[in-house]
Structure 1
Amino acid sequence: MSTAPQTTPSAAGGCPISAELLPPNMRKHVDPAAPAPLRMMAAKSLVPLAPADMLCALFMLTFDPDEGVRETASKTAAALTDRFSAGLRDENVPAPVLGWFLPLLRAKDAYAEMLVLNPTTPDEAVAEIARDCSPKIAEIIGQNQLRVLRHENIIRNLCTNPNASPALLDNVCDFAVRSGVALADVPQMQAARVRVFGPQAAAAPPDPGPTAEEILKELQEVAAATGKPEAEGEGEAAPIPEAKKLSLTQRIMKMSIAQKIKLATLGNKEARSFLIRDTNKLVCTAVIRSPRITEGEVLNSASNKAVNEEVLRIIYNSREFTKSYKIKMALLKNPRLPLSVGMKFLNTLRENDLKDLSRDKNVPAALQGVAKKMVEKKNEPKKEEK
């Protein structure tokens, strides 16, 4: 379920995000067809936009046909003020925007920290600054285990960063080695392999298990053999024969954590269906954050009462996911949804659905009680009229 909006005619040429992200009355400020003074106002951050919207507008204006507008937008972004900095931590800001801002603001630790901690910021951008960022930012990058395993260049670049402490690099490399990462070109990783597995590991590394590429190829071969190639849309995937499913399950269990994360990020729907049930939090988190995940998969996870708590948190905190009314309803029926989040969602329901929830025995009692009170309150004026 991609979070990056598609380009529309109202976006500047080549811009990977759409002007439709902005409030309707503000889109003229990024429209190449609008008068240059209107666009320049936004490039100077002189229009009343929310922080997240301002970041998107400045990014879009770097694709403007007018060189002056492009340069002004870039200068404004590089000198970003605290007034708009809250947008840097907003997970719903498109990845290309955050990825553009990170190198610009890499020298400002407070801003770089927000961007590095934002899970939507692309791994590639984090890897780029990992080679020369400050000790503080290096520490934050190294502590993000999912990023470290998902994008190997983060480790490579951290290991060349003169500001990264030896203790940090030892910890990052030891964790990566235990998780199945093998980088023969990184001396620190080779040293970590010896520390973790002993001197003999330098000559004969332990079997890392199946790779993501091998498992994905097997899944694709099974789909081709059934005559029903899997589509990455909302349709059903081709069913896998039980014997092959058992074999694949056993092979996936033998995969290293790093390879599972790679498969979760780049694999197909069938691969994600195996991995969303993984007991390792990093693996199932990689599944729900996969850029290829579909709305149907998110709906299944939102309905799953045994889903990992972190996966559920990512779903209910995502504006992109909760735009779907079905996903919102599924979350409300999940007993693991925090009451405070459920109450927020109740206010957005249609009256009939609110009534159904107030009578649904599967809905958590506390949430059901709140729904009942809301229904009663809505019916009060009608009783008085009678």
Structure 2
Amino acid sequence: MSHPIVERILSGDAPFNLKQAAARGAMPIPREDLIELWVLLRADPDDEVRMACKENIAGVDEAEWIEILPTHPFDPRVLDFAVRILGRTPTLLQAALQNRGVTTDTLEWLAQHASGAPLDSLLDNQVRLIQSPSVVVAMLANNGLNPTQVRRIFDLSEQFFRDHPEIPSLLELRFGLKLGLAGGAFAPDLREEVLPEQELPSEILTLASIDEATLAAAEAEIPVALLIEEPIPPEEFKSLYQQILNMSIPAKVALALKGNKEARMLLIRDSNKVVQQAVIGSPKLTDSEVESIAKMRSIPDELVRQIARNKEWMKKYPILKALTINPKTPPGVAINLIMNLLDFDLKMLLKDKNVSEVVRREARRIWEVRNTRKVVPFKKH
């Protein structure tokens, strides 16, 4: 609920001079309530009020927005403004999307118009997508989806939306993907059929035991388009995606090691651990891809630990940060990384209710150690 003065101004019951004073920021009310008022009055009919609000909004710096957006109970219209306007800055969009007050209408707009990282952020919040399937429907109307995002939507839909009135048909119409036929680990009735490793001899069920001859032979199954580091056109992606699903384990391993970014980002979500390990071990894997993998909520514990053990990757702050703040990261791993976070990220982590209590507690302890002033006793001479 807004501050009483804000509610009074917005309802039209307040004197005009009170509205003017609030627009200038000359009212003794909390900063968050002033910001809310400025956003809601930025289109006010009065020129003076409108200009004052716009100027004050422009004066709110990025750090302050990041501080207040995730948790303050803003009017949904303010959060809509944050997503549509402030959201042009990735860090501000991320902060806004953490607020549970963002409406489904706002998320639908974002799902249909965004591309790249904003869509990844939406896909990371699977709980909200399950609660609001209309956001997934809106996303499927987005022409900016990349193959990895399509794969994530397909996996989510295979698990939760098989009986939805629109999602299955949209997936099939746009991408040629039919739910229930290649359902991965999510389809109980197909589990034995779609886990190829159960049909393979035990001697090739570990990455180390797949010899070079086997990999060389398996490369014949790989389409050339998946070996070239170029974007895959949507019309080609449909058939290539189906081919990946039907590949043998050795072929998937060969593709993980020698394929392009699109292939690696699909294969990292494969149900077979050998394939996942091959992606992590690929000599073509870039730091930005490792960062993306470290952010995934579906990443297995084994891969988390494998990334954390890589000293070179842990020297890259974006990767370290992604792994530390990922709720999927085992607390024992996260706690060992927290001390390396910058103060700003450390402060955000200690407030993040998505991570475990033990991680937040350790973040708070380190924050207090860093920010408690040391008292030096005065010595008389």
TM-score (norm 2): 0.42
* Larger relative contact order (Cα-Cα within 8 Å, sequence gap ≥ 6): 1
